[in-house]
Structure 1
Amino acid sequence: MRKAKIGLEVHIQLTKLKTKLFCSCPSDYRDKPPNTVVCPVCLGLPGALPKLNEEAVKMALTLCLSLNGKVSRKVVFARKHYFYPDLPKGYQITQFTSLGSSPVCQGGQLVMRVDGREKVVRIRRLQLEEDPGRIVWPRGKASEYVLVDYNRSGIALIELVTEPDMETPEEARAFVEKLRSLVEHLGICDCELEGAMRVDANVSVEGGERVEIKNIGSIKDVEKALKFEITRQSTLLDQGGRVERETRHWDAERRVTVGARSKELEEEYRYMPEPNIPPYLIEEGLLEQAKRELPELPDQRIKRMIKEYSLSEYLASVLVIRDKRLADLFEEAAKLYTNYKRLASLLVVDYLRWVEELGLPLGKCVKPEWLAELLSYVDRGKITLEQARETVLPSMLRECKEPSRVIEEKGLGVVRDVDKILSIVRKVLRENPKAVEDAKKNPKAINFLVGQVMKALRGKADPRTVRQMIESELGMSARHGSDG
Structure 2
Amino acid sequence: MSSQPQLVRGYEVVIGLENHVQLSTRSKIFSGASTAFGAAPNTQACPVDLALPGTLPVLNRAAVERAIRFGLAVGAKVAPLSIFARKNYFYPDLPKGYQISQFEIPVVQGGSVAFFVGDRQKVVQLTRAHLEEDAGKSLHEDFHGQSGIDLNRAGTPLLEIVSEPDMRSAQEAVEYAKTLHALVMWLGICDGNMQEGSFRCDVNVSVRKPGEPFGTRREIKNLNSFRYLVDAVNYEVNWQIDQLEDGFTIQQATVLYNPDKGETRAMRSKEDSADYRYFPDPDLPPLVIAPEWVERVKGEMPELPRAMAERFQQADGLPAYDATMMTQSLAFARYYEAARDACGQPKLVANWLMGEVSKRLNAEERELQDAPVSPALLAQLIGRIQDGTISNNAARQVFDALWTGAGSEVDAVIEAKGLKQMNDSGALEKIVDEVIAANAKSVEEYKSGKDKAFNALVGQVMKASKGKANPAQATELLKKKLG
Structure 1 length as normaliser, TM-score? 0.80
1:165 corresponds in structure 2 to 166
For residues 262 and 304 of structure 1, what CA distance do their matches in structure 2 show?
48
Larger deviation: 355-364 or 175-184? 175-184
Aligned-residue offset at 1:21: 1.4
For residues 152 and 452 of structure 1, what CA distance do their matches in structure 2 show?
67
1:76 corresponds in structure 2 to 83
Asked if 1:23 corresponds to 2:31, the answer is yes
Deviations along 1:228-285, whole A, 9 cap, x unmatched?
Answer: 2222211221122222211112233443323222212222223232233222211232
Gapped regions of structure 1 (runs ≥ 5): 478-484
Aligned-residue offset at 1:419: 6.9
Are the equivalent residues in 2 in contact too, given 1:366–1:396 (CA < 8 A)?
Answer: yes
- Change in 2 beyond 3 A, CA 1:241/1:23: same
Aligned-residue offset at 1:319: 1.2
2:203 corresponds in structure 1 to 201
Q: How does 1:112-191 map to 2 (within 5 A)?
A: 112-114=115-117, 116-136=119-139, 138=141, 147-191=148-192
Percent identity between matched residues is: 33
- Change in 2 beyond 3 A, CA 1:445/1:271: farther
Larger deviation: 324-333 or 32-41? 32-41
- Change in 2 beyond 3 A, CA 1:22/1:115: same
Amino acid corresponding to residue 99 of structure 2 in structure 1: Q
2:5 corresponds in structure 1 to none
Aligned-residue offset at 1:310: 1.1
For residues 118 and 249 of structure 2, what CA distance do their matches in structure 1 show?
33
Are the equivalent residues in 1 in contact too, given 2:458–2:474 (CA < 8 A)?
Answer: no
Q: How does 1:79-94 map to 2 (within 5 A)?
A: 79-94=86-101
For residues 254 and 37 of structure 1, what CA distance do their matches in structure 2 show?
35
What is the aligned length?
A: 456
Aligned-residue offset at 1:126: 1.1
1:52 corresponds in structure 2 to 59
Amino acid corresponding to residue 104 of structure 1 in structure 2: V
Deviations along 1:174-214, whole A, 9 cap, x unmatched?
Answer: 32233234323323223256332221111111274210011
Asked if 1:356 corresponds to 2:356, the answer is no
Aligned-residue offset at 1:346: 0.7
Amino acid corresponding to residue 180 of structure 1 in structure 2: H
Residue 414 of structure 1 aligns to a residue whose secondary structure is coil
Are the equivalent residues in 1 in contact too, given 2:12–2:207 (CA < 8 A)?
Answer: yes
Amino acid corresponding to residue 332 of structure 1 in structure 2: A
CA RMSD in angstroms, aligned pairs only: 3.9
Asked if 1:104 corresponds to 2:112, the answer is no
Aligned-residue offset at 1:220: 4.2
For residues 456 and 128 of structure 2, what CA distance do their matches in structure 1 show?
54
Structure 2 length as normaliser, TM-score? 0.80
Q: How does 1:321-360 map to 2 (within 5 A)?
A: 322-360=328-366
1:247 corresponds in structure 2 to 254
Are the equivalent residues in 2 in contact too, given 1:4–1:204 (CA < 8 A)?
Answer: yes
- Change in 2 beyond 3 A, CA 1:170/1:185: same
For residues 451 and 18 of structure 1, what CA distance do their matches in structure 2 show?
65
Are the equivalent residues in 2 in contact too, given 1:351–1:393 (CA < 8 A)?
Answer: no
Deviations along 1:142-188, whole A, 9 cap, x unmatched?
Answer: x9555544333322111011222222223323322332343233232
1:480 corresponds in structure 2 to none
Aligned-residue offset at 1:43: 3.8
Residue 350 of structure 1 aligns to a residue whose secondary structure is helix
Larger Rg: 2
For residues 51 and 407 of structure 2, what CA distance do their matches in structure 1 show?
50
1:393 corresponds in structure 2 to 399
- Change in 2 beyond 3 A, CA 1:341/1:274: same
Aligned-residue offset at 1:9: 0.5
Larger deviation: 243-252 or 371-380? 371-380
For residues 82 and 226 of structure 1, what CA distance do their matches in structure 2 show?
27
Residue 93 of structure 1 aligns to a residue whose secondary structure is strand
1:38 corresponds in structure 2 to 45
For residues 391 and 37 of structure 1, what CA distance do their matches in structure 2 show?
52
1:268 corresponds in structure 2 to 275
Residue 301 of structure 1 aligns to a residue whose secondary structure is helix
- Change in 2 beyond 3 A, CA 1:405/1:188: farther
1:236 corresponds in structure 2 to 243
Residue 152 of structure 1 aligns to a residue whose secondary structure is coil
Are the equivalent residues in 2 in contact too, given 1:373–1:403 (CA < 8 A)?
Answer: no
Are the equivalent residues in 2 in contact too, given 1:13–1:189 (CA < 8 A)?
Answer: yes
Aligned-residue offset at 1:333: 2.0
